[in-house]
Amino acid sequence: MAKITAGVGSSHVPAIGAALDNGKTQEPYWQRVFSGFEKSKEWMKEFKPDVAIIVFNDHATSFSVDMIPTFALGCAAEYPIADEGWGARPVPVVKGHAKLAAHIAQSVIEDEFDLTIVNKMEVDHGLTVPMSLMFGEKKPTEEWPCPVIPLAVNVVMFPPPTGNRCYNLGKAIRKAVESYPEDLNVVIFGTGGLSHQISGPRAGLINSKWDKAFLDNLSKNPKKLTAIKHLDYMREAGAEGIEMVMWLIMRGALDEKVDEVYRFYTVPASNTAVGHIILENQKKAKKTSAKKISAKSAKPAAKRAAAATKADVKKSKVRK
Ligand code: DHB
Ligand code: FE
């Protein structure tokens, strides 16, 4: 059986992609941002997902404002990298998992979440920036470590879906994945946010208090977040803060109680508050550990993995 065992939340600021692609990661401004993803890349290497479902938003790149689906599931074999006006990012083409994606489409549509099926789509910074942050830098000639199922959510044209609808879609996706017969370890990403507004009189708005409360509740009390109205997101987190509803799809696909294994927050990157969280289901997958990763701890991943394996062995002995 396939299983979603962990969730990742990550901002998708396009300037982060530009900093990576133009060799600026060591500049102090960017070093502050990238330092927060070092442990996450180690975590991802240990976690070794077979598939990543990445909930993201297209920024009028593949879908123009002429036609914009609320939820669109990528069922293609691959997704080329979009040129957003400054050339396509020099990263590998994103390979899909058409079989699992078609299975998810069938299952969630039978569950009355009428997704749009996408068989051709170029992907923009909304998808590729979180991938670079979590999987590390990859040249176009290399491959990403696992296939990806992109789920595009409309958060660019009013009205976007509610947080509650997103949370429930996450639950339906979980059910779909768990009815797939092959043993697959699946990670789900919620991307975008956190607070930001990129135009108008409030351009530059950032609300750290709101963002931190969002992360706290995402971890411990996600139901509370499902009641937040669109206008509250916009008032408190800026016009583009509405991207945060995508994190609720990720959260809905996890267990009610999760272990928060990592969190990072920094302000700003470009116009945006950068938020990042890693959550694991408490019924852990064998491959990974729910041990909290200290941002300060310099313990290498291999040691942590060895410690985790020992801990797992201990637990399984107790169970026996
Ligand atoms: C910025 C942030 C976004 O989420 C986006 O899609 C575009 C730009 C920014 O902070 O510049
Ligand atoms: Fe965005």
pLDDT, one tens digit per residue, over 169-187 is: 999 999 999 999 999 999 9
**Residues 6+ positions from 85 with CB-CB distance below 8 Å:** none
Structure tokens at 88: 């396509």
- Which domain does 97 fall in, by range? 3-319
Nearest 10 degrees: Cα torsion 179, 183, 247, 301: 160
Would you say the CB of residue 240 lies under 6 angstroms from ligand 1? Answer: yes
Nearest protein Cα to ligand 1, atom 6:
13
Q: Is the CB of 270 under 6 A from ligand 1?
A: yes
φ and ψ of 186, to 5 deg: -115, 135
How far is the centre of ligand 2, averaged over its atoms, from the C-alpha of 244 (Å)? 10
Q: Given the structure tokens 């509405």, which residue do they identify?
A: 242
Token pair for residue 299? Answer: 């313990």
Angle at 8 between CA 7 and CA 11, to 5 degrees: 150
| Chain mean pLDDT for the chain | 92
Rounded distance, CA 248 to CA 266, Å?
21
Cα of 13 vs centre of ligand 1, distance in Å, is 5
CATH number, domain with residue 9: 3.40.830.10
pLDDT of residue 317: 35
Angle at 52 between CA 271 and CA 197, to 5 degrees: 15
pLDDT digits (tens, 9 = 90+) for 69-97: 999 999 999 999 999 999 999 999 999 99
* Confidence label for 293 from pLDDT (cuts 50, 70 and 90): confident
Q: Using an 8 Å Cβ cutoff, are 241 and 197 in contact?
A: yes
Q: Among candidates 162, 93, 161, which has minimal Cα distance to 127?
A: 93
Number of domains in the chain: 1
Q: How many Å lie between the centroid of ligand 1 and the Cα of residue 198?
A: 7
Pocket test for ligand 1, best of 153, 194, 196, 199 (most atoms within 8 A of CB): 196
User: What are the catalytic residues?
Assistant: 125, 196
Q: Does residue 198's CB lie within 6 angstroms of at least one atom of ligand 1?
A: yes
Asked whether residue 304 carries a pLDDT value surpassing 50, the answer given is no
Q: What is the 3 state secondary structure string of the chain?
A: CCEEEEEEEECCCHHHHHHHHCCCCCCHHHHHHHHCCHHHHHHHHHHCCCEEEEEECCCCCCCCCCCCCCEEEECCCEECECECCCCECCCCCEECCHHHHHHHHHHHHHCCCCCEEECCCCECHHHHHHHHHHHCCCCCCCCCCCCEEEEEECCCCCCCCCHHHHHHHHHHHHHHHHCCCCCCEEEEEEECCCCCCCCCCCCCCCCHHHHHHHHHHHHHCHHHHCCCCHHHHHHHHCHHHHHHHHHHHHHHCCCCCEEEEEEEEEEEECCEEEEEEEEEECCCCCCCCCCCCCCCCCCCHHHHHHHHHHHHHHHHHHHC
Q: Would you state the structure tokens that stand for residue 259, as one six-digit string?
A: 């272990």
| 27-80 confidence digits (pLDDT tens) | 999 999 999 999 999 999 999 999 999 999 999 999 999 999 999 999 999 999
CA 248 to centroid of ligand 2, rounded, Å? 16
Q: CA-to-CA distance for 139 and 115, rounded, in angstroms?
A: 32
In the chain, % of residues over pLDDT 70: 89
The whole-number pLDDT of residue 309 equals 42
Closest ligand to 203 CA? 1
Question: Residue 288: pLDDT band by 50, 70, 90 thresholds?
Answer: low
Angle in degrees, CA 310, 46, 92, rounded to 5: 170
Give the pairing of strands 71-74 and 116-118. Answer: parallel
Handedness of CA 296, 38, 191, 48 (dihedral sign): negative
Q: Which residue has the higher pLDDT, 298 or 100?
A: 100
Residue bearing the CA closest to ligand 1, atom 3: 13
Atom of ligand 1 nearest to the CA of 240: 4
Position 316 scores a pLDDT of: 36
Closest residue by Cα to residue 76 from 15, 149, 143, 139 = 149
For 190-219, the pLDDT digits (tens) are: 999 999 999 999 999 999 999 999 999 999
Mean pLDDT, residues 136-163 taken together: 98
